[in-house]
Amino acid sequence: MPPPKSQTTQTLNADQQAALFRAIADNSNNVVGVKDLAGRYLYVNTKYSQLFHLPQEHYLGRTDAELFPADTAAQFRANDLRVQHDNMALTIEEIVQVDGQTRHFLSVKFPIHDFLGTLYATGLIATDITARKAAEQLLWASEERFRLAFEQATVGMAMIDIGGNILRINPHGSQLFGYQHPELEGRSIESITHPQDRARVMALIRKILRNDLPHGEIEKRYLHKAGHFLHCRVAISLVRDPQGVPLYFVAHINDITETLRIEEELLRLANTDPLTGVANRRPFLERMQQELARVRRYGTPACCLMLDFDHFKLINDRWGHSSGDAVLRYFSQTCLQRLRATDLLGRLGGEEFAILMPDTALAGARELGEQLRVWVAEHPLQIGDQQICFSISLGMTELRADDKNPDQVLARTDEALYRAKDLGRNRVEVV
């Protein structure tokens, strides 16, 4: 025996069914309406009547052309006729002016048939999607702004997933690393990072992921496709979803290789005597300061030697200033060849030089001074067929733990040097 039919469907009469339909339609948030084939309204729900501030009865028997501006009515009618013609439901976006504002509706229009299957009306269920469209528009605009900024940026930009793979890279970034765009997408960022920088980068990434830092900046080296490394300054930010779940990183990459090279060059120039290429006074005193600290801390010996050309004025007067310059350069090159890598030759000014000798006791320093003095005296500078003979006087001292600063050491070497000059020049004296 078949199960009994539900009580409700069994007993609903036509009036009850009509009331049921109205109850559902009037409580819907959607706009609902029914029109006959000529386009006259047979029914509108509460939402429909409220939308245009007209009572439900006002619509009945009227067409869209009688109710709405011509272009709105024409749009509605055309869509209704399509439904009638195709005899099937149509989902379409319709644009309507409501209270002077443009509203977007997602309309489902469908054919309605009588018991014999004859089409006699079209129905409408429309959802107001204006707010959603506006949100989509805003999102599109912001995505478009980001896309343009990303694509056209004159710094390298990359979106990197949480696993460290490049999701997207901009054309400038590809070019920076020597790749065709977008060849690098899908590659891991680790594969183009200098091995010695990986741990530092990971430490920063972990801090950002733990929320210890909102974003971070780091200097690191990237591997260029051609095999060399680029020094870059990278700003890294983490994009999270509204719940705070990390989505991906955005990295701004600035190539600072050239900047670092220029900085290094400027530093080198600032520390170098332009005539001879040896250290000038400033780095010499800085090194002496460091050596004094070592002497105080470890008690290792170190010596300072100061030397001055004898009667250099006569060399200039006799051979000319440029020959004097040549003597200073000749001496510097010779001296550099004879010193250990740890020794430092500096030009303190004029024709006065100094040598700092770490890990050297006075006896060793004296020996080196003597060798230099003898070598200089025995090796005149040859310019064409002219021989420029010259000699040097040297004063030296040991760095002492109680020396307060390099000036104190220099004062003693100066004293020794003047003694060497006083005692006849071309000799080494110790204080």
> CB of residue 414 vs ligand GTP: minimum separation in angstroms?
12
Q: Which residues contact 223 (CB under 8 A, 6 or more apart)?
A: 177, 191, 192, 193, 194, 229
Give whichever of 179 and 312 is closer to ligand GTP, judged by the CB atom: 312
Strands 344-349 vs 352-358: parallel, antiparallel or unpaired: antiparallel
Q: Using the rule CB under 6 A, is 328 a contact of ligand GTP?
A: yes
> CB of residue 320 vs ligand GTP: minimum separation in angstroms?
8
Phi, psi for 172 (deg, rounded to 5): -65, -40
> CB of residue 228 vs ligand GTP: minimum separation in angstroms?
39
Q: Using the rule CB under 6 A, is 422 a contact of ligand GTP?
A: no
Provide the 10 A C-beta neighbour count for residue 389. Answer: 12
- Residue 171: is the preceding peptide bond cis (ω within 30°)? no
Give whichever of 109 and 427 is closer to ligand GTP, judged by the CB atom: 427
Cβ(232)–Cβ(246) below 8 Å: no
Give whichever of 39 and 395 is closer to ligand GTP, judged by the CB atom: 395
Q: What is the DSSP letter of 188?
A: B
With CB atoms as reference, the residue minimizing the distance to ligand GTP is 324
Q: Using the rule CB under 6 A, is 350 a contact of ligand GTP?
A: yes
Q: Which of 317, 430, 308 is nearest to 373 (CA)?
A: 308
Number of residues binding to ligand GTP, judged by CB under 6 A:
16
Buried b (16+ CB within 10 A) or exposed e, 5-37: eeeeeeeeeeeeeeeeeeeebeeeebbbbbbee
Q: Which of 250, 257, 255, 231 is nearest to 169 (CA)?
A: 250
Q: Which of residues 251-310 bind ligand GTP (CB under 6 A)?
A: 275, 308-310
CA distances in angstroms from 154 to 171, 172, 252, 253, 353, listed in the order given: 9, 6, 10, 10, 49
Q: Using the rule CB under 6 A, is 324 a contact of ligand GTP?
A: yes
Q: Using the rule CB under 6 A, is 147 a contact of ligand GTP?
A: no
Q: Using the rule CB under 6 A, is 319 a contact of ligand GTP?
A: no
Question: Which of 321, 340, 386, 405 is in the footprint of ligand GTP by CB under 6 A?
Answer: 321
Alpha-carbon dihedral of residues 351, 355, 361, 365, nearest 10 degrees? Answer: -50
Selected range binding ligand GTP among 42-50, 90-98, 170-178, 322-330, rule: CB under 6 A: 322-330
> CB of residue 369 vs ligand GTP: minimum separation in angstroms?
17
Selected range binding ligand GTP among 91-99, 211-219, 321-329, 332-340, rule: CB under 6 A: 321-329
> CB of residue 396 vs ligand GTP: minimum separation in angstroms?
17
> CB of residue 323 vs ligand GTP: minimum separation in angstroms?
7
Question: Which of 80, 255, 351, 398 is in the footprint of ligand GTP by CB under 6 A?
Answer: 351
Q: Which of 204, 194, 185, 354 is nearest to 284 (CA)?
A: 354
Question: Which of 206, 261, 282, 313 is in the footprint of ligand GTP by CB under 6 A?
Answer: 313
Which residues contribute to the site for ligand GTP (CB under 6 A)? 275, 308-313, 316, 321, 324-325, 328, 350-351, 421, 425
